[in-house]
Amino acid sequence: DAGITQSPRYKITETGRQVTLMCHQTWSHSYMFWYRQDLGHGLRLIYYSAAADITDKGEVPDGYVVSRSKTENFPLTLESATRSQTSVYFCASSPSHEQYFGPGTRLTVT
Amino acid sequence: GQNIDQPTEMTATEGAIVQINCTYQTSGFNGLFWYQQHAGEAPTFLSYNVLDGLEEKGRFSSFLSRSKGYSYLLLKELQMKDSASYLCAVRDREYGNKLVFGAGTILRVKS
């Protein structure tokens, strides 16, 4: 009973590379979210999804792409990584009100 | 737009009571959440308020006043393990019911 998992947990990549961060939940929650967390900014929403095949932009979507072909998976792709995308990325899922967060992926873009 | 303010840092003594305040400005308030986040870990859900008043859950309580745009998280009988960042988040109907998070309050509990 893993709940919500993210992979990889740590990633170092170079500027311009494409990177995909994976998120998987076992609860069958309808809602899923991607956030980034940076010092001084708190958690900022990148994209969210209300159900399979339904996604929408959050506060900071530029440079990111998401898909949700299955309820349990919500991958986040950085199409061409930039140094400003160095951050900790959290995936979350929600049945209705509260959100449950994955352990995070620490991404460094060099 | 949305604006959420919390103190940046607080320090309290083990066994004491501490109150972490959160003020917010939103156009379509639809609930306030508190999360706890230990260093290097994921946020975990603590409480949810949508109506005015106090919600109690063990050592933690959360209060909401919608007319004042104000909430607080009250932690009683502080323990060293309560040292963490506490995040206030508001759900905004005008923002598609998504959460907007404050920057968080780092609480340090000293012995």
What was the pLDDT predicted at A41? 80
Q: Is A96 in a helix, a strand, or coil?
A: coil
Model confidence at B2, in pLDDT bands (50, 70, 90)?
A: confident
What confidence tens digit (pLDDT) does each residue in A13-51 have? 999 999 999 999 999 999 999 999 998 788 999 999 999
Going by C-alpha positions, the residue among A71, A52, A68, A63 that lies closest to residue A87 is A63
Q: Which of B44, B45, B87 to probe the A interface (max A CBs under 10 A)?
A: B45
What confidence tens digit (pLDDT) does each residue in A72-101 have? 999 999 999 999 999 999 999 998 889 999
What was the pLDDT predicted at A96? 83
Contacts of B41 in chain A (CB under 8 A): 103-104
Strands B18-25 and B3-5: antiparallel
Q: Is A47 on the interface with B (CB under 8 A)?
A: no
Torsion angles phi and psi, residue B82, rounded to 5: -80, -5
Q: Which of A35, A98, A105, A106 to probe the B interface (max B CBs under 10 A)?
A: A98
**Can you give the C-alpha Rg of chain A in angstroms?**
13
pLDDT tops 80 at residue B8: yes
pLDDT tops 80 at residue B96: no
Going by C-alpha positions, the residue among B47, B40, B68, B15 that lies closest to residue A97 is B47
**Element containing residue B106 per DSSP (H, E):** strand B105-110
Going by C-alpha positions, the residue among B10, B60, B4 that lies closest to residue B32 is B4
**Which residue of chain A has the CA closest to B49?**
A97
Model confidence at A1, in pLDDT bands (50, 70, 90)?
A: low
What was the pLDDT predicted at A43? 94
Average pLDDT of chain B, as a whole number: 95
What was the pLDDT predicted at A42? 86
Neighbours of B12 (CB within 10 A): 18
What confidence tens digit (pLDDT) does each residue in B9-62 have? 999 999 999 999 999 998 889 999 999 999 999 999 999 999 999 999 999 999
In whole angstroms, what is the distance from residue A69 CA to residue A26 CA? Answer: 15
What was the pLDDT predicted at A30? 92
What was the pLDDT predicted at A73? 97
A101 and B103 within 8 Å at the Cβ level: the answer is no
Evaluated on CA atoms B68, A101, B105, B17, the torsion sign reads positive
